Structure 1
Amino acid sequence: MLILNTGGTFNKRYNPLNGELEVPCDSLAVERILSSVESEYDMAGVMFKDSLDMDINDRKTLAAIIMESKDDKFLIVHGTDTMDETAFFLDEIFDDRTIVLTGAMKPFEIDNIEATFNLGMAMGFLNSKNDHGVYICMNGFVKKWNELKKNRELGKFELV
């Protein structure tokens, strides 16, 4: 399994100099969660962006990394606002890999429970699941990417 970190709210930290939540250029949140796991996982910081700032070139970068990897299972930490767009893009390309996108509605630094739960659930799914496809793991669900959508009014992911 290869864990790819793209940033998003999951990773955001408070900047006391300007009073804003920012996506730092590191994978500290994911690393802190993985430090409590007994197994070793390969992890790479791919880009450090809010998902609203991601574009087609960022999605192509993700696809190229997945295509070149020896792994067949991937966990992508991604912002929730465009998670479905990235999932759709990857689903059009890959049918021989298992890819799970997860994220958090609250930054790990502010409330580490949601981010930790989502990452752990996605890892467990990948460690037990053999069906190829692109999935989203949020709010206690792991479903094919088009079966789970963000409800912006309620601030959570729901089954479609």
Structure 2
Amino acid sequence: MTKFNQSEGVTSEYEIEEDDHHHTHRPLFRIKYRSNSIVSTNFSDTGSISEGLPTIKVLGTGGTIASKGATAHQTAGYEVDLTIEDLISTIPDLSTTCNLEYEQVLNVDSKEMGTPELLLLHSKIIEDLSKYDGFVITHGTDTMEETAFFLQLTVNTNKPIVLCGSMRPSTAISSDGPMNLYQAIVIAANRSSRARGVLVALNDRIGSGFHITKSNANSLDTFKSSNNGDLGHFVNNEIHYYFPPAKPLGITYFHLTAGSTLPEVPIIYAHQQLNNRLIQLAIDELEAEGLVFATMGAGSLSAKTNDFTGRLAHSRGIPIVYSKRSQDGMVPKASLPVQFEAEDGTKSPFLNNIAGGYLNPQKSRILLQLCLRDRMNIPQIKDCFKGVYGG
């Protein structure tokens, strides 16, 4: 028995049963809230804990929401220090909303998220997809949009997958973590959230994980989809969607198997007088199978850079995606260079370039990685990017 202090100051008791038969290194806990206490229930892979309520799985990966600072006013320089069990204990009673299970998959700052971590999270969702009615993923905000986009492309389901996090650590004044987590769970448990794709829930807003991006490094109201808008809001414990259920247009689904890897695809940030040797180094030293440019404007690179890249791309047979460094807008096919100049001055068609459409560089990179993993050729990759008005 463990003591749990309720917000009203009442001390209650609860039990949590650990099931590590299949999860030796990541214990799985199943709990159920009742009134002002939490009581344990027996774990079962089949069936729900109580009829009529959905069963939601919360997957903890770390991030600011699981961080602690040295003072109540510290909002930078904190470290991940809390488990998903700690976070669950801070949210209100959900006994009339859902049955809840949670598991610590990772516990890292999202800047540490990479291919191995993405694949681990993906495999955990695929493994549990048939057992639960929805998923919530606690995640750092710095790379949340990349994880959400990756999951949208690799998990084909109508069940809600909701990512949440926080901009302030748990110890900060007015920490936003507990409310964001509570709202994400309620959203995942609501049938109206089905068939909407991967969702991101922060600061009372519900956004599409396919479209959303972090727009501000510091403020609570940071996640935006300025070209597409929010899908809905969470107000006074009510979910308000603005549109009927629909997944984003342009999704290409990729099937990942056990042991999958993703190829190396660097991003080059364009600027005045870009040194073309950076492009050479990225391809030669990193053995990159593709490249993404964060271009100036709507696909602009200098003529020297376009010529240099064209020669390199065609000699190596690698795709080059033209994305943009601006948050909004898009790179259309019309912005792509149609030819490049060879060393001898002759002109050749530039066939290996791809317009990133409205995808930012980090999302363009993920889509290109998945295309390359499936061994797509240049025309096939262009077809995938057509879905986001590129190609």
With normalisation by structure 1, the TM-score equals 0.86
Corresponding position of 2:89: 32
Equivalent residue in structure 2 for 1:54, among 113, 122, 140: 113
Percent identical: 28
AA at the equivalent of 2:104? G
Alpha-carbon distance, 1:139 to partner: 1.8
Correspondences of 1:7-18 after superposition (within 5 Å): 7-14=62-69
Larger radius of gyration: 2
Corresponding position of 1:147: 211
**Greater shift after overlay, 73-82 or 144-153?**
144-153
Moved over 4 A (4+): none
Corresponding position of 2:225: 159
Cα distance between partner residues in 2 of 1:146 and 1:154: 22
Equivalenced residue count is 158
Corresponding position of 1:107: 169
Corresponding position of 2:143: 82
Corresponding position of 1:137: 201
Cα distance between partner residues in 2 of 1:28 and 1:43: 8
**Greater shift after overlay, 96-105 or 139-148?**
139-148
**Secondary structure, in 3 states, of the residue corresponding to 1:79?**
coil
Counterpart contact for 2:92–2:182, Cα < 8 Å: no
Alpha-carbon distance, 1:26 to partner: 2.3
Cα distance between partner residues in 1 of 2:121 and 2:174: 26
**Secondary structure, in 3 states, of the residue corresponding to 2:213?**
strand
Corresponding position of 2:80: 23
**Secondary structure, in 3 states, of the residue corresponding to 1:52?**
helix
AA at the equivalent of 1:5? G
Alpha-carbon distance, 1:36 to partner: 4.0
Counterpart contact for 1:80–1:103, Cα < 8 Å: yes
Counterpart contact for 1:59–1:86, Cα < 8 Å: yes
**Greater shift after overlay, 96-105 or 132-141?**
132-141
CA RMSD of aligned residues (A): 2.3
Higher RCO (C-alpha under 8 Å, 6+ residues apart): 1
Alpha-carbon distance, 1:42 to partner: 0.2
Cα distance between partner residues in 1 of 2:108 and 2:58: 16
Cα distance between partner residues in 2 of 1:56 and 1:50: 14
Alpha-carbon distance, 1:15 to partner: 5.9
Return the structure number with greater helix share. Answer: 1
Cα distance between partner residues in 1 of 2:79 and 2:217: 23
Alpha-carbon distance, 1:25 to partner: 5.9
Give yes or no for the alignment of 1:127 onto 2:189. Answer: yes
Gaps of 5+ in 1: none
**Secondary structure, in 3 states, of the residue corresponding to 1:122?**
helix
With normalisation by structure 2, the TM-score equals 0.38
**Greater shift after overlay, 110-119 or 100-109?**
110-119
Cα distance between partner residues in 2 of 1:53 and 1:42: 25
AA at the equivalent of 2:88? E
Counterpart contact for 1:11–1:109, Cα < 8 Å: no
Cα distance between partner residues in 1 of 2:165 and 2:174: 12
AA at the equivalent of 1:33? T
Return the structure number with greater strand share. Answer: 1
Gaps of 5+ in 2: 1-55, 227-391
